[in-house]
Structure 1
Amino acid sequence: MRAGVDIGGTFTDLCIAGPDGIVAIGKALGTPAAPADSVETVLRDALEDQPFDGGDLTRVVHATTLVTNALIERKGAKIALLATAGFRDVIELARERRPDIYRLDVWRPDPLVPRHLRFDVPERTLADGTVELEVDVEDVAALAAELAERGVEAVAICFLHSFTNPANERAARDAVRRAAPDLRVALSSDIAPEIREYERTQTTAASVFVQDRVVRYLDDLEARLSALGAGDRLRVMLSNGGVATARDAADRPIRMLESGPAAGALAAARFAAFNGFRDLMSFDMGGTTAKLCLIEDGRPLVTHEFEAARTDRFTRGSGLPIKTPTIDMIEIGVGGGSLAHVDTLGLLACGPQSAGADPGPACYGGGGTRPTVTDADLVLGYLDAGFFLGGEMALDVEAARTAIKTHIADPLGLSVEEAAWGIHRLVNEDMASAARVHAAERGHDATGLPLFAFGGAGPVHAFGVGAALGTTTVIVPAAAGVMSSVGVLAAPLATDGVRSKLEPVDESTLERAEPLFAELEAQGAEILSSSGLADEDITHERSIDMRYVGQGFEVTVPIAPGEDLRAAFEAAYVRAHGRTGPDVPIEAISWRVLSRGPDPDLRLVAAPAGDGDARKGTRDVWFEDGYRETPIFDRYRMAVGTQVEGPAIVEERESTTVVGPGATARVAEDGSLIIEGDA
């Protein structure tokens, strides 16, 4: 038995799976002030209804927003930065580009380290790794002692060219630890040993900024799991789609930045592949945001840089660039709790502000008075006021209608239903537009791609989003409302290694790079072996960041033994840019190894029982031309092979699926609902 737990923006989700599939799921409102509380609560409540207890769980895999929230809220350690003399302000100078040249109200976030805590350290390592000036360890030790006296809690050390030779950084770390053993220390050569000083410095500072908070949280969580009988079972989801032991994750906590969204994309890839779909778009819509991810040949696309803590959440360049492998997805500020409003131009708008878990949408009865997407979906009849969370939470339809009437319908001269339909349609179009852009920027066309929908609100909006994208297939998995918690159970133990080293690309490049690749693979194998994996179960995947000489940025190219590097690069370049580049030499910049264990041997299926009549009744549901009397189905009673004609509503405890007019839905062997309809 394995348990997966994911903390989202509004809810904490749980899935427990055994050898034969999913046996229990759960959902509870999050507890932002003490996130471990909701994890313990949802797990304890689920175990109370099972014939087993926490001691029967062989692994508890956890995805969390803790790192993201710490960076956004600036709730981390007081840190100092030690940089090569003359480079302490790199973290603030950044790239000298405005995030948006046409807006005066969008700025990069302030550096995590204020200038009075950034220090020049005389030392110099050259680009080829030669140490021209050794660091003065006595000066560093004296500085560390002074910093500790001034209340500094952690130190980031980022020296020039340390990715080619970390000797000076390591000497400085040892000096800090001797003089001030309570200070946490992070080295850029450990956290992000890659070119580009600004990004490397930001990543190192961000990792040590959140580290103490992560360590305390994981220690607290492990203590709570021990009380439930599941001690020493904790694993943590990483942004790259793998999992790590709690200790490994705490050593480099920045890798947990996007752990929850990564889990959802991984689940989408696994479930969709089971049903024969290997190229698709993952669509995760929860209470606060929606996320879209391209899946190509059964695996989510991965990027090696991510922006965190944006001052304008959806403006590229307004955040902290973090160099860590992350499943590549686009985030849209629209979820079930997103607030609808009339903007200054008198137009309907939705998000990115959210009602969150507290006070929540108006219909939750928690004190919210402004309309949200969930309020609109309730008024339109997509949600059953008496069956939200399986009936555990009653929704107030009149409160939803009042909020929409006051803030949207009356100002725009619409009926409440028209205003609610406008909110619903606007959200669908926004997400479809984002999907088109996301795919186009990665050399793909989103038109017609199957849509894999999950999250509490995803299945409600998937049919509308799919229609806007011209897709004819929507896949809604069983347990869609807690899919990220299912996805963590599909993740293998994995760790990434990277090293920047400039090399010309020619016939002998791979031969020259073999010692570097071997070193990275040995590091990965050591980490995974200490996590309990046998050597024969560890595999390594190599890739190289390459570019045409003279270019400023690279393309990451997966590499097989003996492969023609130029041909592999040009094929990847065409996929990314639609054409080949000039007839100039190619150079390799960074060398990457993904070390991983086997995929978990679990059947991530939840075939419905299919006992009795699945039809629960009918209710009025609004579609394009008004309310229609629409049949309502109980998903738990829909046997494999069951087929329903749209319009229809399929309800389960954590989510509701809308099957639009003209579409047909059938239950697949794994319990997934496959919706087919005209584009």
Structure 2
Amino acid sequence: MNIQNPDAPIAASYRIGVDIGGTFTDVVMLDPATGKLLNEKVLTTPDDPSQGVLNGVTRILSTGAAQASSVQTVIHGTTLVANALIERKGVKTALVTTKGFRDVLEIGRELRYSIYDLFIDTPTPLVPRSLRFEIDERMTSDGTVLRAPDPTAVSALADDLRAAGVEAVAVVFLHAFRNDENERAVKAQLAEALPGVTICTSFEVMPQIGEYERTSTAVANAFVQPIFGNYIARLVAEMARLELPEDLFLMLADGGTVHHDTAVRYPIRLVQSGPAGGAQAAAVFGRLAGEPDILCFDMGGTTAKACLIQDGEALKTDNFEVARVFRFAKGSGLPLQVPVIDMIEIGAGGGSIAQVDKLGLIRVGPESASSKPGPACYGLGGARPTVTDADLVLGYLDAASFLGGDMALSKEAAEDAIRRELAEPLGLSVVDAAWGIYETVNESMAQAATIHALESGRKVQDFTLLAIGGAGPVHASNLARRMGVRRVICPLGAGVASAFGFLASPTSFEFVRAAIEPVAALDLERIDAMIGELEEEGRRLVTAAGVAPEDATTSVGALMRYVGQGYEVEVSVPRSVVVARDTGEIARLFEARYAQLFGRTEAMDIEVISWRVLVSGPKPVLEPTAALSEGPALKGHRAVYFSEAGGFVDTPVYDRYRVKAGARIDGPALFEERESTIIVPPHAVAVPDVHGNLVIDLSD
């Protein structure tokens, strides 16, 4: 508010990030002029996620005494796309494909995630066979049109689709990643014949080699596009009613942001938007702490994920799976070819339910109590024990100070649930059963994170663990010790870090074009022209989202491999090398990258699989300030369970907002803030830095 003249127009300056999680919706508001950060958590509203967004935004504006008209930007990340795929709550979708290939979704790959299981479960296709239609068309492997689709046949197809009552259609033809002429022709005719039906082609969504993966991705995009479009339209209308900016920005799974118009065209590229925001936040916090190599550990209410950040940048990939039949089994889900930050789902979240399995062991997840009914301790109707219930029983959480005291927890309800479901069936005490939940979760996460690093050609011990998410700091030190990691960073506001990460992400969009050619025979003149066209389209998208034309930058990369290999390596290729037509330098860049990853090179021919063009605006430079309060930091003591100490220990509890930078605090200790609690185990040392990061040294 303008104090000197209340009637003067308020300059739009605040930036708001909103992340919808399975349990909570997190909201962060930043004043770029001062670096001041405010955050809020509200329960997610699964029946209408937009309501949780609006509740959170309204609440944080009230907390900050700010007006809606003073908000410059709202950036949103959502689980809506992933949830629609996991829960199969998209629209009735059809697949139109090349004659003879309607069963690609059923056949899948030859790879089996469980080699010796004769009764292996595979994900059910999003489109049943009755809604998979064939067109007699053909494109050769080099992109030459061998047979164009017959307009009469397409007209008859339109009648069949209309009769079937489909709401979306994915058009996927063989070798269309080379040339989309036939896909475009069919789409144009169907769009005219079927007004109101969503139609997307595989070339638009992700033109890459991989017939099954490309089909799966295009189908998934069509499956969620109408519901996502309706959600965004409803949310934008409500924002306008509240006098918030009508231009909403969405977080992509690769760490960039786009205008909502672009996001509606490619909703599948938002499938991991929330965790991508967490990775972007971790990169910022790591930079502030002087740690460029970070293992980001993000544990929220539903899942826990990990990703590696090297030299300040999150590692990326274009292969991702969703809706796995077996949660941690690679190959058991629906494959998606979209640019994503390379991360692994490594365990359960705070709301994950614990139970006794058929072998008489404690198993945690994958079922979650979510926000409704929630963990037993929430008192909202949940009766089954969760990770949060175990954390409360072990003293890691305080029933009276959860969410800053806004949400009272019931320790008695948590103990009753654990006793009934775990302790009595296993003949354990409630505390031992709670410790079993904690140990089970941490051990599975440590193993998965270690393997994830090894699969990336790196050792997890070379990284510093940075914990975010509401439950991340509760489990971080125990997890780090299991992996041999000796340093842990817990940033201020870790529980809402993903929403903060949205504000740290540049406006960007990545294009991919397949071009399978030996490096020695590359037609770099043609490739340079293709890159120029993609750059022009990318600049149009990012400038439409508010980026000044002079601030838009372009980077070029290629997926490359040795001829005959089944695994590609992404290589950064300066545009100047393409302009200079220097195929030898492209080969040298590949070999340098290959040697970095695998420690050797091969005497084999090299080929390019696809080209990537990333157009982006400037990355926001954020220097959040740690708003500390005056007064004594020590709040009191409570009994906290530490196995290395043999049981419960009377442990000091500190107000995170009152601990001064540079103070040395020996473990065991607890640091409470509104969104999370940090556990510092015995024989560890915690020191807050000037940016609000709590740095924990576990080397003792």
Under a length normalisation based on structure 1, what TM-score does the superposition of the two structures give? Answer: 0.97
Select the residue among 428, 453, 460 that pairs with 1:439. 453
Amino acid at match of 2:631: G
Partner of 2:664: 643
> What is the Cα deviation at residue 240 of structure 1?
0.6
Tell me the secondary structure at the aligned position of residue 339 of structure 1. Answer: strand
Tell me the secondary structure at the aligned position of residue 98 of structure 1. Answer: coil
CA deviation profile, 1:175-230 (whole Å, cap 9, x unmatched): 11221222211011111111111111111111011000000000111112112211
Distance in 2 between residues matched to 1:652 and 1:620, nearest whole Å? 18
Residue 82 of structure 2 corresponds to residue 61 of structure 1: no
Tell me the secondary structure at the aligned position of residue 335 of structure 2. Answer: strand
Residue 592 of structure 2 corresponds to residue 571 of structure 1: yes
Distance in 1 between residues matched to 2:598 and 2:363, nearest whole Å? 33
Partner of 1:607: 626
Q: Which moved more, 1:237-246 or 1:345-354?
A: 345-354
Partner of 1:157: 171
Amino acid at match of 2:608: A
Residue 299 of structure 2 corresponds to residue 285 of structure 1: yes
Partner of 2:9: none
Q: Contact 2:158 / 2:190 at 8 angstroms: preserved in 1? A: yes
Q: Contact 1:448 / 1:470 at 8 angstroms: preserved in 2? A: no
Residue 302 of structure 2 corresponds to residue 272 of structure 1: no
Q: Contact 1:616 / 1:633 at 8 angstroms: preserved in 2? A: yes
Distance in 2 between residues matched to 1:182 and 1:287, nearest whole Å? 37
Partner of 2:681: 660
- Structure 1 unaligned regions, length at least 5: none
Partner of 1:8: 21
CA deviation profile, 1:442-491 (whole Å, cap 9, x unmatched): 10111252100011100000010111111121111111111111111111
CA deviation profile, 1:385-404 (whole Å, cap 9, x unmatched): 10011111111111212222
Distance in 2 between residues matched to 1:92 and 1:308, nearest whole Å? 16
Residue 36 of structure 2 corresponds to residue 17 of structure 1: no
Amino acid at match of 2:510: D
5 Å matches for 1:119-134? 119-134=133-148
> What is the Cα deviation at residue 576 of structure 1?
3.8
Amino acid at match of 1:269: A
Residue 54 of structure 2 corresponds to residue 34 of structure 1: no
5 Å matches for 1:492-531? 492-506=506-520, 510=524, 513-531=527-545
CA deviation profile, 1:403-441 (whole Å, cap 9, x unmatched): 222222233333222222222122222111111110011
Distance in 1 between residues matched to 2:389 and 2:544, nearest whole Å? 49
Residue 547 of structure 2 corresponds to residue 533 of structure 1: yes
CA deviation profile, 1:536-555 (whole Å, cap 9, x unmatched): 11111211111111122311
Tell me the secondary structure at the aligned position of residue 344 of structure 1. Answer: coil
Q: Contact 1:448 / 1:469 at 8 angstroms: preserved in 2? A: no
Q: Contact 1:106 / 1:312 at 8 angstroms: preserved in 2? A: no
5 Å matches for 1:189-588? 189-506=203-520, 510=524, 513-560=527-574, 561-562=576-577, 564-581=585-602, 583-588=603-608
Q: Which moved more, 1:661-670 or 1:262-271?
A: 661-670
Select the residue among 177, 182, 190 that pairs with 1:176. 190
Tell me the secondary structure at the aligned position of residue 183 of structure 2. Answer: helix
Tell me the secondary structure at the aligned position of residue 651 of structure 2. Answer: strand
> What is the Cα deviation at residue 575 of structure 1?
4.0
Amino acid at match of 1:70: A
Tell me the secondary structure at the aligned position of residue 68 of structure 1. Answer: helix
Select the residue among 625, 631, 636 that pairs with 1:617. 636
CA deviation profile, 1:159-188 (whole Å, cap 9, x unmatched): 122222211111111111221222211011
Distance in 2 between residues matched to 1:337 and 1:102, nearest whole Å? 33
Size of the alignment, in residue pairs? 677
Amino acid at match of 1:365: G
Q: Contact 1:291 / 1:329 at 8 angstroms: preserved in 2? A: yes
> What is the Cα deviation at residue 578 of structure 1?
4.4
Partner of 1:597: 617
Partner of 1:48: 62
Tell me the secondary structure at the aligned position of residue 227 of structure 2. Answer: helix
CA deviation profile, 1:648-673 (whole Å, cap 9, x unmatched): 10001110001111111122121111
Distance in 2 between residues matched to 1:342 and 1:90, nearest whole Å? 38
Distance in 1 between residues matched to 2:70 and 2:119, nearest whole Å? 54
Q: Contact 1:641 / 1:668 at 8 angstroms: preserved in 2? A: yes
Distance in 1 between residues matched to 2:136 and 2:402, nearest whole Å? 62
Q: Contact 2:346 / 2:449 at 8 angstroms: preserved in 1? A: no
Distance in 2 between residues matched to 1:281 and 1:631, nearest whole Å? 28
- Structure 2 unaligned regions, length at least 5: 1-13
RMSD of Structure 2 on Structure 1 (CA): 1.7
Distance in 2 between residues matched to 1:272 and 1:181, nearest whole Å? 50
Tell me the secondary structure at the aligned position of residue 46 of structure 2. Answer: coil
> What is the Cα deviation at residue 158 of structure 1?
0.9
Distance in 1 between residues matched to 2:535 and 2:664, nearest whole Å? 49
CA deviation profile, 1:267-319 (whole Å, cap 9, x unmatched): 00111112111111000001111000011110111010111111222111111
5 Å matches for 1:94-109? 94-104=108-118, 106-109=120-123
Q: Contact 1:141 / 1:178 at 8 angstroms: preserved in 2? A: no
Tell me the secondary structure at the aligned position of residue 411 of structure 1. Answer: helix
Amino acid at match of 2:48: A
Distance in 1 between residues matched to 2:522 and 2:188, nearest whole Å? 38
Q: Contact 2:221 / 2:266 at 8 angstroms: preserved in 1? A: yes
Select the residue among 691, 694, 700 that pairs with 1:670. 691
Summarize the Cα distance change of 1:510–1:611 in structure 2 as closer, same or farther, 3 Å threshold: farther
